[in-house]
Amino acid sequence: MQIEQLIAKMTLAEKIGQMSQFNGMDGEISEEFKEKIRKGLVGSVLNEVNLHKINEIQRIAVEESRLGIPLLIGRDVIHGFKTILPIPLGQAASFNPEIIKEGARMAAIEARSSGINWTFAPMIDITRDPRWGRIAECLGEDPFLTAVLGPAMVSGFQGDLGSKGNIAACAKHFAAYGAAEGGRDYNTVTVPENELRDVYLPPFKACVDNDVATFMSAFNEINGVPATGNEFLTRQILRDEWNYKGFVVSDYESVTQQVVHGHTPNNKAAAAQAVKAGVDMEMVSTSYADHIEELLSEGVITQQQIDDSVRAILNVKFRLGLFSNAQTDPSNFPEWVNDEHRAVAKNAALQSLVLLKNDKNILPLRSGLKDIAVIGPLADAPHDQLGTWVFDGDKKHSVTPLQAIKEQTSGKAVVHFAKGLENSRSKDTSGFSEALEAAKRSDIILLFLGEEAILSGESHCRADINLPGAQELLAAELAATGKPFVTVILAGRPLTIRNIVNTTDAVIYAWHPGTMAGPAISDILFGKEIPSGKLPVTFPTHVGQIPMYYAHKNTGKPATSKSWEKIDDIPADAAQLSIGNTSHYLDEGFEPLFPFGYGLSYTMFDYSNLKLVETRVKMDNPVQISVDVKNSGDYDAVEVAQLYVRDLYADRTRPVRELKGFRRVFIRKGETLNIQFELKSQDLAFHNRQMKKVTEPGQFQVWIGGNSNAELTAFFELE
């Protein structure tokens, strides 16, 4: 009722103001901007973090504007605010929605204490291309996993939205941004509708079901129409099919970028297209403010469309409690980067670390080591360990691996540190001699490699995803010493690390782990904690294999290890034959370096006794599946048991495997745990040739194991 009363009182200019977001003031408020707020011409402010200034503009909006409508204050709070969590891709490696939720809750409290009430997260774009810089910001390649973790992040940010310390979340980018051609940011997306609906949209639907407050449109065009002007996406799917009641904001200037795409001839037409598509608020560019009044008078857009947008925006402001109190009192919130928040960040980092190799059980490090070499450009890089898209975190709060290892070994061992390279991109090998000297004096080498934070993130795409600079050369020279050798990689994406894996005894993939990177890594290295992370994305062996993802189609000529005709085995003057050929690369085969879901532990988990309660199941009945998992090693530890399914014959061909369930379980050494899964018929649904979502009767195969290459299998028939 209050919203309708407000809308009835609003002038057209004030309505357009609600639909307009302005860039931040860098702590300065001009008289011109104050006057805009007084006139009700500003609905939201982006990227202002000075609390005094935020409180002042909120005061002006509430006390000096005609209708007293408060402002939305937006900020990219992506993986922490002041206390920085692992990058979202790293968080996804935890396979733990509770960790995601807890981290978002902590970030929301810190952000809200600064006057921020709206974040542009979670990013739930599915991508199968690690060249794309923004893979760091997403939750991986799998729609099922992302559809679990994305809503968990929404819950952490929003909670009961009107309560203290909560902020509005934003599901982005709608849609298929992660399918950008060639992994180049902002690029063209061409994707069939059934794939759009089955792969790229499910995480967004899951966030709608979890009451996410806002959506953001994407930069990319999709099938020839820019997402920001795409009525099919925003009107038909989001509004009509999903009945979404929140509001949609454009990405940064993406309304006027429709002109650059070649979709509209000018900004006026771009504004018309975006309004008609259902984009409620324009970020930074001013085509709405400049043209909506004229477009309305010409009958190009309707009053109903404008009122619907304003209604949705005001509803979020009411839900946030801004009409009751738009001011922020920092004394109502805990200090930033406090011990509790550090513990949250450390726990998230611990669960994100993925053990990729551990020859001869070199890890955890044995007691009694007297001299330890800590080498590499990322061993003591407090800025780079924070990762991409960190606007408000400060490296002074970072605890680096070098610092943590020194603290862990204080009084027990001597740590010999050498950077070897000035940074991850450096090709200057003059520091190698110091690194080699440190290695020769030590019982073990701990080498920290990867990519700097600036090498991933928005617009930071890479065609070559090997380790940059001379890092591989440094590793090779250290390996030649014959010393036991552990490599920890800090990066914002999967890198092609075959040479490193072949060179070193153990490999931990740490992503960019955030503020508490050092203590988390050190605890894993020394066995105070047991690694449990699993890869949320496939690691290719070579960049030329991309796109490479586990849920691919089978093709009519699927490759096998026996069918791979290796390039070096082909004799000269060989006859060109097609008989027996399969789908693979002569030089790199068809398998990844590491599959989706992969991650080792310091213990061993044995899967057995896979059972289905029934092998012939009626359509409306759930499929009950169980498996025994035994911890046959020497450590109590956590395993992520994963359930995969294949629909063997369908109206549209289905992927060779799809993740349909996972359980993160703690199992004591020697203990066997029976783990239960349940598949419902809707879990097996897909979009058929008529674009209807259906579950077809027929034969299905299931696998349960520790990664997407699980071998323990069974079959059932759905009747």
Cα separation, 703 vs 659, whole angstroms: 10
Residues 150, 252: one domain? yes
- Give the per-residue pLDDT at 440: 97
Of all residues in the chain, what percent carry a pLDDT higher than 90?
94
Confidence band of 560 (pLDDT split at 50, 70, 90): confident
What one-letter code names the amino acid at 311? Answer: R
Residues 616, 473: one domain? no
**Locus of tokens 């034969």:** 699
Across residues 266-290, what is the average pLDDT? 98
**Locus of tokens 């925003």:** 234
Indicate the pairing of strand 506-509 with strand 485-490. Answer: parallel
**Locus of tokens 């040739």:** 689
Considering the chain, what is the average pLDDT of its residues?
97
Residues 304, 378: one domain? no
Does a structural domain hold residue 271?
Answer: yes
Helices (H) and strands (E) in the chain, counts: 20, 26
Asked if residue 234 has pLDDT above 80, the reply is yes
Asked if residue 302 has pLDDT above 80, the reply is yes
Across residues 155-163, what is the average pLDDT? 94
- Is there a contact between 413 and 369 (Cβ–Cβ < 8 Å)? yes
Does the annotation count 251 as an active-site position? Answer: yes
Cα-Cα-Cα-Cα dihedral sign, residues 202, 208, 214, 217: positive
Query: What's the distance, CA 150 to chain centroid?
Result: 9
Residues 153, 294: one domain? yes
What pairs with residue 10 in β-bridges?
Answer: none
Asked if residue 562 has pLDDT above 90, the reply is no
**Locus of tokens 């699980």:** 710
Does a structural domain hold residue 329?
Answer: no
Across residues 710-716, what is the average pLDDT? 98
Residues 507, 560: one domain? no
Residues 484, 579: one domain? no
Q: Which entry of 125, 142, 251, 647 is annotated as an active-site residue?
A: 251
Does a structural domain hold residue 595?
Answer: no
- Give the per-residue pLDDT at 578: 77
What one-letter code names the amino acid at 639? Answer: E
Residue 643: give its domain's CATH number.
2.60.40.10
- Is there a contact between 375 and 446 (Cβ–Cβ < 8 Å)? yes
Of all residues in the chain, what percent carry a pLDDT higher than 70?
99
Q: How many domains are there within the chain?
A: 4
Cα separation, 380 vs 364, whole angstroms: 21
Contacts of 490 (CB under 8 A, 6+ apart): 378, 381, 384, 385, 448, 449, 450, 451, 510, 511, 512, 513, 517
Cα separation, 38 vs 32, whole angstroms: 10
Encoded tokens for 644: 């995969």
Residue 183: give its domain's CATH number.
3.20.20.300
Confidence band of 570 (pLDDT split at 50, 70, 90): confident
Residues 264, 354: one domain? no
Least trusted range by pLDDT, from 1-10, 87-96, 221-230: 1-10
Indicate the pairing of strand 637-647 with strand 44-46. Answer: unpaired
Q: Residue 637's CB: how many other CB atoms inside 10 A?
A: 21
Cα separation, 382 vs 398, whole angstroms: 5
Cα separation, 29 vs 643, whole angstroms: 54
- What is the DSSP code (8-state) at residue 247? E
- Give the per-residue pLDDT at 607: 98
Encoded tokens for 216: 């953001």
| 226: phi then psi, degrees, rounded to nearest 5 | -55, 140
Cα-Cα-Cα-Cα dihedral sign, residues 316, 321, 323, 328: negative
Q: Residue 294's CB: how many other CB atoms inside 10 A?
A: 13
Cα separation, 704 vs 674, whole angstroms: 12
Least trusted range by pLDDT, from 345-349, 587-591, 685-689: 587-591
Does a structural domain hold residue 545?
Answer: no
pLDDT in tens, 475-524: 999 999 999 999 999 999 999 999 999 999 999 999 999 999 999 999 99
| Residue range of the domain that includes 114 | 74-308
pLDDT in tens, 318-344: 999 999 999 999 999 999 999 999 999
Residues 642, 568: one domain? no
Does a structural domain hold residue 52?
Answer: no
Please give the C-alpha separations between residue 581 and each of 546, 559, 646, in angstroms, as whole numbers: 20, 8, 24
Confidence band of 25 (pLDDT split at 50, 70, 90): low
Half-sphere exposure of 234 (CA within 13 A, CB side): 32
Asked if residue 577 has pLDDT above 80, the reply is no
Asked if residue 444 has pLDDT above 80, the reply is yes
Residues 374, 403: one domain? yes
| 638: phi then psi, degrees, rounded to nearest 5 | -100, 135
CA quadruple 485, 490, 495, 496: dihedral, nearest 10: -10
Residues 238, 104: one domain? yes
- What is the DSSP code (8-state) at residue 78? S
Residues 516, 582: one domain? no
Encoded tokens for 657: 């495997």
Cα-Cα-Cα-Cα dihedral sign, residues 226, 231, 236, 239: positive
Query: What's the distance, CA 24 to chain centroid?
Result: 26
**Locus of tokens 């914002």:** 492
Contacts of 600 (CB under 8 A, 6+ apart): 355, 356, 357, 358, 531
Residue 367: give its domain's CATH number.
3.40.50.1700
Residues 570, 618: one domain? no
H or E element in which residue 490 lies: strand 485-490
Please give the C-alpha separations between residue 579 and each of 425, 557, 563, 567, 575, in angstroms, as whole numbers: 46, 11, 11, 17, 11
Helix axes 287-297, 303-319, angle to 10 degrees: 140
Instruction: Assign 178 to helix, strand or coil.
Output: helix
Confidence band of 180 (pLDDT split at 50, 70, 90): very high
Does a structural domain hold residue 220?
Answer: yes
Least trusted range by pLDDT, from 25-29, 105-109, 246-250: 25-29
Kindly report whether the global pTM for this prediction surpasses the value 0.95: yes
Asked if residue 575 has pLDDT above 90, the reply is no
Does a structural domain hold residue 630?
Answer: yes
- Give the per-residue pLDDT at 565: 78
Confidence band of 237 (pLDDT split at 50, 70, 90): very high
Does a structural domain hold residue 543?
Answer: no
- Give the per-residue pLDDT at 284: 97
